[in-house]
Structure 1
């Protein structure tokens, strides 16, 4: 690099890049801590929680919260991402993709989902009814989330299905269908601010969700020219019709 007629040996931007990476790591850490605080605040105060409640739970001033999140919707997105990653991690750690039947995979996924709902009911009420998301680009965010999930699912299962090409757009449609059905059912099961216990026992709700997901997956497979035997492992369950 030339500076006032002299050449230095330092590569351009080397120190700046290291500093930038340290800032990014710090920002990720602080954002994660605020999401942790958001979960605690939601558990305590319910889905009408405020940004001030979350900042107080984190032991920080509200301006600091806004330095790390663009707005309420940005924090909402981070909470949704945390729930998605939490559920994904729990599901992957409890299943055997090579040997579990499709029915078992669906049932265990439903069970892990309901366990997370039971642990954090107000987080799910917040996700379903949050005042943080009143913005015009809501449909764009939903589309982006569905596409991310579809590609992750396609990558995960694509290598398991013998001689079957995974259509990401088809998986995206299935994701939309499942998300919509499960969200609506969860909304009914929890109620917006229901103080009493859910009217349907958790084990019955798990079975209900598993039936919904299996039916949607079977219908989507049939639409794309496949049959599904849910009593077979995933790599054998999908076959051309």
Structure 2
């Protein structure tokens, strides 16, 4: 009797589910690559070609176009959060940490411009919110945590930290998205410097310059 015949039905089902999930992830990564190559107007045929499958073969792993788009959005959010992972483990002076985070964000945005443009026009999950809204919420949640625990210079109460975090992330996202389409001659480094100084000014005004000055000298 073969090993598979000895294996419980539940075990075979779990193994098959894992195989299907792995294959689905491969197709999503191929879709992200196709978007990077062809832009936000990418067609399903171009995605299928990049994945090396037929259009019907692609949709055997997704419940229609909405499910595919949602999976692409989820994967892109996951990649961005991973790209910024060093930022969530802060070390060094608060101003320098802020500058590092913004440079990392702009670097991801510039390297994934077509994917970002795709996310702007794509819904995420069943709630109907845009994928970029989900990106902002995810990043802002991390930033709020850093403000509350004092990673960026001083411990800020949650009722103050959360609106501040979402406001800062919203400003950065809006400014960087505009720069991506219309840079007006500004380089990535120039924008990073401008946004760092602007965000720091808002944090200083909220927390107090004296408290931040002490923290930034540590």
TM-score by length of 2: 0.71
User: Is 1:125 the counterpart of 2:111 in the alignment?
Assistant: no
Select 2:38's aligned residue among 34, 38, 45.
45
Q: How many Å separate the matches in 1 of 2:56 and 2:198?
A: 44
- Give the unaligned 5+ runs of structure 2: 1-6
Is 1:59 aligned to 2:45, yes or no?
no
User: What's 2:195 paired with?
Assistant: 209
How many residues were matched structurally?
210
C-alpha distance in structure 1 between counterparts of 2:134 and 2:83, whole Å: 23
8 Å CA contact retained: 1:114, 1:202: yes
- Deviation of residue 188 (structure 1)? 1.5
Alignment of 1:152-171 (within 5 A): 152-153=142-143, 164=155, 167=158
Q: How far 1:83 moved relative to its partner?
A: 3.5
Any gaps of 5 or more consecutive residues in structure 1?
1-13
Contact 2:140-2:165 within 8 A present in 1 as well: yes
Distance in 1, Cα, partners of 2:103 & 2:160: 24
* TM score, norm. by length of structure 1: 0.65
CA distance in 1, matches of 2:32, 2:12: 30
CA contact (8 A) 2:144 2:162 kept: no
Q: Does 1:137 align with 2:127?
A: yes
For 1:29-40, what aligned pairs fall within 5 Å after superposition?
A: 29-40=22-33
Structure 1 residues 20, 218: CA separation in 2 closer, same or farther (over 3 Å shift)?
Answer: farther
For the residues of structure 2 that align with 1:73 and 1:125, how far apart are their CA atoms?
17
- The answer to which structure has the higher helix fraction is 2
Q: Are 1:47 and 1:122, in contact at CA under 8 Å, matched by a contact in 2?
A: yes
